[in-house]
A and B are shown apart, each in its own frame.
Chain A
Amino acid sequence: MELLLSIMVGALVAASVYLMLARNVLRFLFGLILISNAANLTIFVAGRLTPEAPPLIPYGQDAPVGVVANALPQALVLTAIVIGFGLFAFALTLVYRTYQNLGTLNSDEMRLAEPEESKK
């Protein structure tokens, strides 16, 4: 299962890299969302997959009974999801604001700080 999921993660990464290389910053943003998901899945898969055994400790026990899913990557991914969301929300606002001020979503046309050098 892990291996097939790895292939899927590869497909996600490929799609997001392709999107992030676009000139339209909205596409870049879509790529950002996808690559966050891909990164989270990478961490999750690398910690191995265990179906139907959440990392919980039953009442009356001091430790989980039997094999349970790896709790560490879950905790890491949980943090990463929230931070990824914060990043996305800010980037979206930035894109929105940029469009309002500059009237374009094409990154090549956003040259206010670095005007195109005159060709020599």
Chain B
Amino acid sequence: MASSGEAVPRTYGGPAGWISVAIPAALFAYFLQFVPVIAAGTPVVVGFDWVASLDIRLSVLIDGLSLTFALLISGIGTLVTLYSTKYLGEHPEYPRFVLYLMMFMIGMLGLVLADNLIALFVFWEITTISSYLLIGFTSDEAKSRRSALQALLVTGTGGLALLAGMILLGNVAGSFELSVILAQGDMIREHPLYLPILILFLAGAFTKSAQFPFHFWLPNAMAAPTPVSAYLHSATMVKAGVYLMARVNPALGETDVWFWTLIIAGGFTTVFASILAIRQTDIKQVLAYTTLMALGALTLFIGVGTADAIKAMMIFLVVHSLYKAALFLMIGIVDHETGTREAEVLRGLGRKMPLTFLGGAIAAISMAGIPPLFGFIGKEFLYKAGLELDTAMIWVTGTIFAASVLMFAAAGISVLRPFTGPLADTPRPAHEGPWAMWICPLILGVFSLGFGLFPDTAEAWLIAPGTWAVYGDYGYEVDIYLFREVNAAFVLSLVTFAAGAVVYAFHRPLRDWLGRVFEANPIKFDPGWDRVLDGLKALAGWQTRLLQSGVLQKYIFVIFLTFAVGVGATIYLKDALQISVDLRAEYDALSFKVWAVLIFITAGALLTAYTQSRMAAVAALGVVGIGVALIFIMFSAPDVAITQLLVETLVVVLVAVAMLKLPHLGLTKDRGRRPLHAALALTVGTLTTLVLFAVLQSDLDRRLTDYFEIASWPEAFGRNIVNVILVDFRALDTFGEIAVVVIAALAAYALLRGTQYGPPRDEIEGEERR
């Protein structure tokens, strides 16, 4: 059956798919063991040398921050793989999908656990590449491919910047180990290279975490299958940039540049993204933009950098991962079972899909920040941290307020509206999804609710150790709670609910209005991206056409020009021309026969270059060759002279034979460019002479010659030192030389043996086919 080429329908989501669930589950269980250790406030550092010569170690740093991330990655990874067994289990490429997903998970775990900067970078790039493969998973769609490439280029460029920053930081700190670097924060902040390092690190973090103005790739990345969106582009990978900023906060943070860059980029992204979220009609896009908003808020609070802000950031990090992954998985079920994600189409699914509704509802309530969910605590502490700042910084609180209001509305758009009201027609009749899918948002919901009701647990396990690690102070008392008193933050929450409800009530006219406003806006990032790419392609094309003209003459011209510029600049810059030429003494030392030979060679060379007659050229070449042989004879190189004579004779014979079949030189057509060529030729010739002058001024290193002179007879029993060098000391070189000649002879034979005249065979065949 299979051999006949017929497709055999297979379902991978069965028992085989369970393996993919078992791996992250086992990792999750493994990381859980560290919780008590880390909660006690002692980071774990273990490792071994990887590339010792480059100071690259494969070392692991487990503290509150990396453990929180590791638990989120493996925990949500377990749910996402479980979900995928049903979501993509019947997809023919399911095994490939699982492979990419596992690759991503390992990369992400390595990223958050690595203690070595270079190792961190390697894992960082693994997540970039696996993200590319996963976004482009439906590779037969052009949109998918474009989004994948965009994400790869944006985050990859940031990754390169990050690598440069890491190398600088490693050199400044004298170590690539994070645990060492983080302890020298004051020295690094004082260093003149601090600013370049900071810019390069933030370039990496902002592209990865899609901060404005690099935000545009993330909504496009939603072309990926929904489990991927839930996992990579919401809960984990896009938080790698946040992780990085949080990680290096003790070393790079707490300066004005850090403060303003992060809060401006973060604050702007927060508000901008939450407005864009309201504008969308595709619920998955609504969620994508609220993810951007969350990333902006996290960046903002790392920038603020007070202990309370860091604490709020850690809480919101966990809160967001829990509810956002759940919401993505929820919309994935809806898409899978009804065939659409349009907010305008979906209504009244609650009765048909009660369990999905329940899971989505818990997440949405958490996103709206309604007690007693963990999301309420997250919002409260964001407010508290914001209100603690100077009154001049009130806009931090304002930013979070605006974002929270819009999040409240977004929660309504993505869950309340689709699941309530009268049932609407959908492309496929709505029905509940398989248990492996609906259970995943529910499990995440249990955590959202559990951490909300028992905040002390979340505090002790994750939030406190994480805050210590990011803030760099293990003495700070972390205290979180659901409700203690009616204070400003609580009042602000109540206002948020009221404002959010109003926005939700009017969200459809608001959306239309926003749509018109954004249509009118001339600055568009996505088409701008296309223009940048087109520009790059045009630049590459222009440069290729310039350098790769296909004209042999130009190639050779460029080669010699490069030589002239390179050598000339080096001589000039190194000031290598300290020549004291005593030409008079030179002149006297020359005997008549040397003079004669010099003149013959020079004249022969010039004649070869000048003549239009090929016979004259061959004769002049012979004069040059024999002249060179005479020089070898006069200056004590008889063996060389013999070889030169033999070779020269052969050359002249070969050229003469070839002349029988070749045309006359004729008048060259390139007369016009010849003066330019002559100028370059003169330059190269002069430079060669100057280089030789410089060489002759310096001392001769005779060590090798001395060795050969002494060792020639005792060790190799030869009296002709040149011969001994050739056949004994450097015998392998001679062997290589013989090989070259043999290969040249074989190739020449093959060329001559072919009897076919005219254009090559493939062209003829092409004509016959036509």
Query: What is A's interface to B at a CB cutoff of 8 Å?
Result: 1-30, 33-34, 37-38, 40-42, 44-59, 61-64, 68-72, 74-75, 77-79, 81-90, 92-97, 99-101, 105-108, 110-112, 114, 116
Chain B binding surface, main DSSP class: helix
| Residue among A69, A94, A112 with most chain B CB within 10 A | A69
Kindly state the separation between the CA atoms of A25 and B678 in the bound complex, as whole angstroms: 17
When the two chains form their complex, are residues B721 and A21 in contact, meaning their CB atoms are under 8 A apart? no
Residues from 617 to 658 in B contacting A, C-beta threshold 8 Å: 617, 621, 624-625, 628, 631-632, 634-640, 643-644, 647, 650-651, 654-655, 658
Q: List 5 A-B contacts (CB under 8 A).
A: A9-B692, A71-B709, A72-B704, A101-B756, A114-B550
- Measured between beta carbons, the chain B residues less than 8 angstroms from A95 are 658, 662
Name which residue of chain B comes closest to A34, CB basis: B605
How far is A85 from B32 in the complex, measured between Cα atoms in Å? 73
Q: Which B residues are CB-close (under 8 A) to A94?
A: 751
A83-B692 in contact (CB<8A): no
Report the 5 A-B pairs with minimum CB-CB distance, sorted nearest first. Answer: A14-B685, A10-B689, A69-B636, A86-B744, A18-B681
A6–B689 touching, CB < 8 Å: yes
Number of CB contacts from chain A to chain B under 8 A: 289
Known: A56-B720, A93-B748. A70 touches B702 (CB 8 A): yes
Q: Which residue of A is nearest B693, CB measured?
A: A6
What residues of B have a CB within 8 angstroms of the CB of A78 in the complex? 639-640, 643, 722, 726
- Whether, in the assembled complex, B260 has its beta carbon less than 8 Å from a beta carbon of chain A, the answer is no
* Interface residue ranges of B675-697 to A (CB < 8 Å): 677-678, 680-682, 684-686, 688-689, 692-693, 695-696
Q: In the complex, what residues of B have CB within 8 A of residue A21's CB? A: 553, 556-557, 560, 677, 680-681
Q: Is B636 a contact partner of A52 (Cβ separation < 8 A)? A: yes
Q: Does B754 contact A (CB under 8 A)?
A: yes
Contacts of B655 in A (CB 8 A): 29, 92
CB distance from B696 to the nearest CB of A (A): 5
Q: B689–A57 contact, CB under 8 A?
A: no
A44 touches B721 (CB 8 A): no
Q: Which residues of B contact A (CB under 8 A)?
A: 550-553, 556-557, 560, 581, 583, 586-587, 589-590, 594, 598, 601-602, 605-606, 608-609, 614, 617, 621, 624-625, 628, 631-632, 634-640, 643-644, 647, 650-651, 654-655, 658, 661-663, 665-666, 668-670, 677-678, 680-682, 684-686, 688-689, 692-693, 695-696, 700, 702, 704-705, 708-710, 712-714, 718-722, 725-726, 730, 733-734, 737, 740-741, 743-745, 747-748, 751-752, 754, 756-760, 763
The answer to whether A70 and B684 touch (CB under 8 A), given A6-B693, A112-B760, is no
* A85 vs chain B, min Cβ distance (A): 5
| Option from B666, B721, B743 in Cβ contact (under 8 Å) with A71 | B721
Selected contact of B688 from candidates A10, A20, A26, A70, CB within 8 Å: A10
Given contacts A18-B678, A51-B635, contact A34 B621 (CB under 8 A): yes
Please name all residues of chain A whose beta carbon is closer than 8 Å to the beta carbon of B710 when the two chains form the complex.
62-63
Given A15-B681, A75-B722, CB of A99 within 8 Å of CB of B692: no
Q: Are B605 and A54 in contact (CB under 8 A)?
A: no
Decide if B737 touches A90 in the complex (CB within 8 Å). no
- Give Cα A78–Cα B720 distance, bound, in whole angstroms: 14
Q: Do residues B586 and A1 form an inter-chain contact, with CB atoms below 8 A?
A: yes
Contacts A3-B583, A78-B640, A79-B737; A85 near B650 (Cβ below 8 A): yes
Interchain CB contact (< 8 A) of A74 among B637, B670, B752? B637
In the bound complex, what is the Cα–Cα distance between A85 and B738 (angstroms)?
A: 11
Given A18-B609, A26-B614, A72-B725, A45 contacting B665 (CB threshold 8 A) = no
